Structures are given as C-alpha cells and as structure tokens.
C-alpha cells in the first residue's frame, strides 16, 4: 500500500497507510490514543483492547514516543479527533525505535534552553512551530526567484573561496588553500560585477557569506545567507531600488499565498507592502533621530538606538519597509559611486524593516580611475584584486545592485528577535556544530 500524508487522510478514505513519528501516547486502560506526525500534519490512532489484535497492542505498549512507525488501518470519522478522523490500526510497525529519555520535548510541554535546543536541533525541529519557520523561509526564497526570473535575471553561482576579502578589513576567515592562503567570501559582490563586464547584464544569487565578526548579538551570525542582485545600464540607484522593492513585495506576497497556514500556526499576520516603498535620505534620518533624542554626528553610521527612533517614526506613518538613501561616501564600501552632484554623498541606499537593516545597495563605480582612487583612499591593497580591476579595463557598463540578508528578512517579518531561530544550524563565534 502506498503511503498517505496525514493531511490527505479524509473522512471519505477507506484504508490507508501513514508513516511518521509517534508523537503522543495516552493510555486510558482499555483504549489508547496515539498521535502520529509527519511533515504535513498529524493524525490520531485509536487502539481498543476489544478490537485490536493483541500483537499490535504489545508493540504499541513497548514503543517509546518519537519512534518512527508505519500504521495501516481503517479511517473512521470522529469529531473529537484532530482533523475529525482517526485510524483504527490492523498493522503497526516500528521502523526505528527511539531511545529514552529524549534530549528535549518536541511537544513543547517542557521548556529547554536555547543551547540545549541547538545542541539537539534535529529534535527541536520536530516542533511544528519550529519547522513552520523554514517553510516560510522556503516560500520567501521561491518568491525572490520568481520575481527576478520574471524580470529577466539569470541565477548564478559564484565562488565561495577567494584570494582576497570582498570588503577589505579584518573580518575575513582565512583558510589554507593547498599551499597558499585564501579566504571565505564576505559577499558575492565582486563576482556579480564581473558578470556585468561579461555581458550578463542581469544576475542574481541566493548565497552564503561569512564575516569573522565577534558579535554575539541576537542579530549577528558568522555564516549568513543573502539574496544578491546586480543589473547593468542603470541611470542611478533608483533603478535598483525599484527592482528591490518589487522583490520584497513578491517575497511577502508568496509567503502569504503559499505558507499562510504556517503564519497562522505562528500567530503572525503579515501585510503585503504597497509600492513604492517610503524613501528618506540619510540627512532626514539624522533629523528624525535627533528630534527623538538620539543625536548622530554627520558621517557616522546610524546605531541601533537611533535607528529604533527612526523606525518608530516610519511605523507611525504606516511604513514598515522603508529606504534610507544618499549615505555619506565615507560610510560605504569602495565600489559605491559618489554622487556626481555632491561627492560627499554616495548613490547608495539601505532597506530597513522597522529597526532591522535588511540590505545595502546602490550604483557601483564603473570608471577604473575612480575605482582605484577609492580603493587607495580606503587604505586597501590592490595586489590581490587585479582579477577584479581587470574587468574595468575593457568596457564596464553603469551598473548597480543590492545584497539583502535572507536570515534578517525572515526574522524581521516574523517578529523573531533572535536571528538564530530562522537558521537551521547557526554558526556564531561560540557555535560550530552540529
């Protein structure tokens, strides 16, 4: 008999076979209620002493919770059972027997601290609300892909080992690459730009990246995932922002459409944002922060306290998602283009969801002389960047793009403060396994 998912077992079914984890056992003497769970849901198995074969009763009695089982039997309507139906078994097989005691309770009836949960992540993920997060994350990725592919973008896969740090600085992970030093990439940035020189014009990638920050905040990871896009023949950063806001809208829309039941399970109500998204300048953000009691000196980054003040103002005006554009050139990476009208500003933007910074993007420099000057001004060594600079010697179109933190996007729209919760197996300064 073919397997049936628990969610597909209905009142009109005759005999079915379900397979999954034995989540619950309640023994009321002459009758036992079991709950078998699979990735689609769960179903009640009712075992009665006067109806069920004794060999099945013996197996049921000796089977611990969380064992993997296969159950065949007749579907019977029961308004008291979850889903309105139950199975009366005529076959009960233990595929894999669980040990006792369990490292944590996947039913959530007993709390476990976060370290215990992540040490035993395989068991933690058996909780339906935990796995719901990753169904939503999957939907967000598919929404991004659908949006970009409809707009003529090609998915690419760039190297994750490189000869130099993408952003410069010390936040890189060195590795031994045969007999020489190499690094894990900080982003796909340089390779996205090489693709513009190669004539691809519109590319995207959903990619891992690594930063050797020793931050132990709820919003930082050493290994994270990013939705990256790059496009050619733009007029300015506004062309990139228009695509970016369409990506965000389509991601949220796809989550609501295809994972609405998972949102319900988490008690989350998400509104699809209306376009265009709100845009404010860096200077306007500083004015808002100062009006709310958090002064930021011009040319400095906007810290979390000040950003919370800005986000509160935006939320009060009905803007959960909003752009902050025209950042000072000195706060941005070497490859961003200074504003031709006022070079102390750059043609850049950040996208925020409330107080979460989700992405950075803008127009890149496509002039080699200006690019080399920016690199030198930031004190970077160009000796390991010739492969990148060579791409600008033979015709580079005006281009731009963004990199949006996928982990941050999922955490922010779900209202989850600790970003580790939306990563299957998070990597932090203190966690390298499982």
Task: Tell me whether residue 14 is in a domain.
Answer: yes
Beta strands at 202-210 and 154-155: parallel, antiparallel or unpaired: parallel
Same domain, residue pair 336 and 206: yes
Q: Look-up: residue for tokens 């980054």?
A: 301
Residue 198 per-residue DSSP state: T
Task: Tell me whether residue 257 is in a domain.
Answer: yes
Cα separation of 24 and 46, whole Å? 12
Same domain, residue pair 340 and 211: yes
Task: Tell me whether residue 272 is in a domain.
Answer: yes
Same domain, residue pair 182 and 256: yes
Return the structure tokens found at 335: 């490859």
- Name the domain count of the chain: 2
Give residue 168's pLDDT.
Answer: 59
- Of residues 277, 366, 290, 291, the one with CA closest to residue 325: 277
| Beta partners for residue 18, in sequence order | 71
Return the structure tokens found at 274: 């209306």
Give residue 281's pLDDT.
Answer: 98
Angle between helices 237-258 and 128-150 (to 10 degrees): 140
363, burial (CB in 10 Å: exposed 0-12, middle 13-18, buried 19+): buried
Cα separation of 187 and 183, whole Å? 11
Cα separation of 136 and 133, whole Å? 5
Same domain, residue pair 166 and 215: yes
Cα separation of 388 and 192, whole Å? 11
Same domain, residue pair 182 and 259: yes
Residues written for the chain? 434
Cα separation of 112 and 123, whole Å? 11
Same domain, residue pair 236 and 330: yes
Same domain, residue pair 37 and 162: no
Last residue of a domain, one of 81, 96, 111: 96
Return the structure tokens found at 359: 């992405």
Task: Tell me whether residue 187 is in a domain.
Answer: yes
Same domain, residue pair 142 and 259: yes
Cα separation of 398 and 395, whole Å? 10
Can you give the residue range of the structural domain that contains 231?
123-277+319-422
Cα separation of 67 and 95, whole Å? 8
- Of residues 209, 215, 169, 175, the one with CA closest to residue 189: 209
Give residue 165's pLDDT.
Answer: 67
Give me the CATH number covering residue 87: 2.40.50.140
Give residue 149's pLDDT.
Answer: 98
Give me the CATH number covering residue 190: 3.30.930.10
Same domain, residue pair 37 and 186: no
Same domain, residue pair 209 and 325: yes
Give residue 411's pLDDT.
Answer: 98
pLDDT tens string 65-115: 999 999 999 999 999 898 899 999 999 999 999 999 999 999 988 889 999
Query: How many Cα atoms sit within 13 Å of 384 on the Cβ side?
Result: 13
Return the structure tokens found at 146: 């659908």
Same domain, residue pair 85 and 192: no
Task: Tell me whether residue 115 is in a domain.
Answer: no
Task: Tell me whether residue 283 is in a domain.
Answer: no
Task: Tell me whether residue 288 is in a domain.
Answer: no
Same domain, residue pair 269 and 375: yes
DSSP H or E segment with residue 343: strand 342-346
Give residue 187's pLDDT.
Answer: 93
Task: Tell me whether residue 157 is in a domain.
Answer: yes
Cα separation of 16 and 9, whole Å? 8
Task: List, for the chain, all residue ranges whose pLDDT scores fall below the cut of 70.
Answer: 165-170
Q: Is 364 helix (H, G, I), strand (E, B) or coil?
A: strand
């Amino acid at each position: 008999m073919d397997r049936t998912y628990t969610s597909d077992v209905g009142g009109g079914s005759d005999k079915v076979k379900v397979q999954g984890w034995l989540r619950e056992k309640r023994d009321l003497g002459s009758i036992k209620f079991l709950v078998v769970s699979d990735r689609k849901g769960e179903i009640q198995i009712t075992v009665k002493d006067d109806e069920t074969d004794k060999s099945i009763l013996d197996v049921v009695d000796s089977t611990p919770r969380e064992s993997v089982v296969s159950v065949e039997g007749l579907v019977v309507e029961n308004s008291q059972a979850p889903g309105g139906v139950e199975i009366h078994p005529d076959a009960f097989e233990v595929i894999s027997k669980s040990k006792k005691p369990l490292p944590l309770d996947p039913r959530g009836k007993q709390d476990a601290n976060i370290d215990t949960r992540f040490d035993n992540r395989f068991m933690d993920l058996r909780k339906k609300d935990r796995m719901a997060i990753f169904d939503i994350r999957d939907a967000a990725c598919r929404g991004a892909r659908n949006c970009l592919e409809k707009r003529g973008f090609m998915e690419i896969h760039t190297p994750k080992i490189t000869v130099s740090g993408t952003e410069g600085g010390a936040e890189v992970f060195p590795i031994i690459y045969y007999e020489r030093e190499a690094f894990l990439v900080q982003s796909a940035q340089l390779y996205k730009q090489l693709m513009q020189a190669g004539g691809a014009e519109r590319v995207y990638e959903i990619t891992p990246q690594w930063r050797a920050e020793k931050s132990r905040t709820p919003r930082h990871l050493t290994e994270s995932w990013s939705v990256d896009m790059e496009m050619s023949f733009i007029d300015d950063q506004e062309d990139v922002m228009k695509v970016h806001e369409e990506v965000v809208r389509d991601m949220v829309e796809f989550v609501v459409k295809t994972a609405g039941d998972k949102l319900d399970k988490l008690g989350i109500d998400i509104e699809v944002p209306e376009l265009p998204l709100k845009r404010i300048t860096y200077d306007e953000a500083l004015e808002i922060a100062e009006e709310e009691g958090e002064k930021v000196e011009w040319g400095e980054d906007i810290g979390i306290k000040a950003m919370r003040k800005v986000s509160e103002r935006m939320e009060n005006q009905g803007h959960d998602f909003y752009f902050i554009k025209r950042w000072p050139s000195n706060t941005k990476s070497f490859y961003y283009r200074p504003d031709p009208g006022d070079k102390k500003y750059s043609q850049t933007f950040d996208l925020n969801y409330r107080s979460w910074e989700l992405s950075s993007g803008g127009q890149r420099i496509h002039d080699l002389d200006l690019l080399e000057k920016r690199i030198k001004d930031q004190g970077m060594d160009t000796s390991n960047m010739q492969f990148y600079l060579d791409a600008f010697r033979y015709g580079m179109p005006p281009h731009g793009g963004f990199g949006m933190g996928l982990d941050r996007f999922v955490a922010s729209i779900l209202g989850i403060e600790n970003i580790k919760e939306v990563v299957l197996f998070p990597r932090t300064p203190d966690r390298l396994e499982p």
